[in-house]
Amino acid sequence: MPALICGSLAFDTIATFPGRFGQQILPDQIHILNVSFLVPTLRREFGGCAGNIAYNLAALGAEAVVVAAVGSDGIGYVERLRSWGVATESVRAIDDAFTAQAFIMTDLDNNQITAFHPGAMQSAHEIDVPSRADLALAIVAPDGREAMLRHAAQLVAAGVPFIFDPGQGLPMFDGAELRRFVEQASWVAVNDYEAEMLTERTGLTLEAMSRSHLRGIVVTLGAEGCELWLDGERVRVPGMTAQNVVDPTGCGDAFRAALLYGLERGWPLERCAVLGNRLGALKIASRGGQNHVLDRTVVPT
């Protein structure tokens, strides 16, 4: 059964700074910050959370349905999705807008500075969650603010369990809105920084959230793996060693694809996390969010 992916389709313009941001920023001058970074390398990649998740799901041999908006420059991206077998009937082209664009700069320590132009993503709330009886589960990933609110509500109305993945969109929501997302979701997936912000804004600890209706909370920790919260108990899943560390862009999306893949098959959350760590370690060895090659040996037996 297919997984529904509500999220962004974007182009990533990625630059590498051959130094460390921390060495270029003077802490006592942060109030008048004016810095320039020389970036000898520059490339443009297909990206966006929905696109990256769909790429990994398709590579794993799973079905995916994408709900997203692209601009007049995004028709080739839609064709790319279709070439993987992804259902794109709920991808809408907005003629008078650009596809969302992320401008990402990474330093030698894999710290990132990102500027994001939402473009067509701001119209994603105009697209309804499709009425399909075969949807196994869904994810509400970073997207336009109104789209995330609306799609979560529509998934609840349709009885489709979903992962709430606020990602970089988390600061758009206040505490009441975030509590509502948590109440509606079946799972929550965040990184460690987002987990701190989520608990601060909602006033709820991860332990308390996990003792509610949620089937699990996942907190990714980069190379250290992840933590799972299940019924008030914390379980640590160690990370996988990457053969090479090249570009962290899209690692979180690869992990979330693994969650969808495993949960759709009825796996326990810990087994899903093991696969997620494997995909993240594999992805970080390649540039961009959709250039790594998967084979079925990454799937735990």
User: Which amino acid type is present at position 146?
Assistant: E
Q: What is the DSSP letter of 92?
A: E
- Backbone angle region of 154, left / alpha / beta, with phi > 0 → left and psi within -120 to 50 → alpha: alpha
Q: Which residues are catalytic?
A: 253
Q: Checking DSSP bridges between strand 64-71 and strand 41-47, what pairing results, if any?
A: unpaired
Residue 129, judged by CB atoms within 10 A of its CB (0-12, 13-18, 19+), counts as buried
- Which residues, 6+ apart, have CB-to-CB distance to 231 below 8 Å? 210, 211
Write b or e for each residue in 222-246: b if 16 or more Cβ atoms lie within 10 A of its Cβ, otherwise e. bbebbbbbbeeeeeebebbebeeeb
C-alpha dihedral, 129 to 64 to 206 to 208, nearest 10°: 60
Residue 179, judged by CB atoms within 10 A of its CB (0-12, 13-18, 19+), counts as middle
Locus of tokens 């664009």 = 101
User: Which amino acid type is present at position 293?
Assistant: V
Secondary-structure breakdown of the chain: helix, strand, coil percentages, each rounded to the nearest 5: 40, 25, 35
C-alpha dihedral, 36 to 39 to 45 to 48, nearest 10°: -30
Locus of tokens 């520059």 = 42
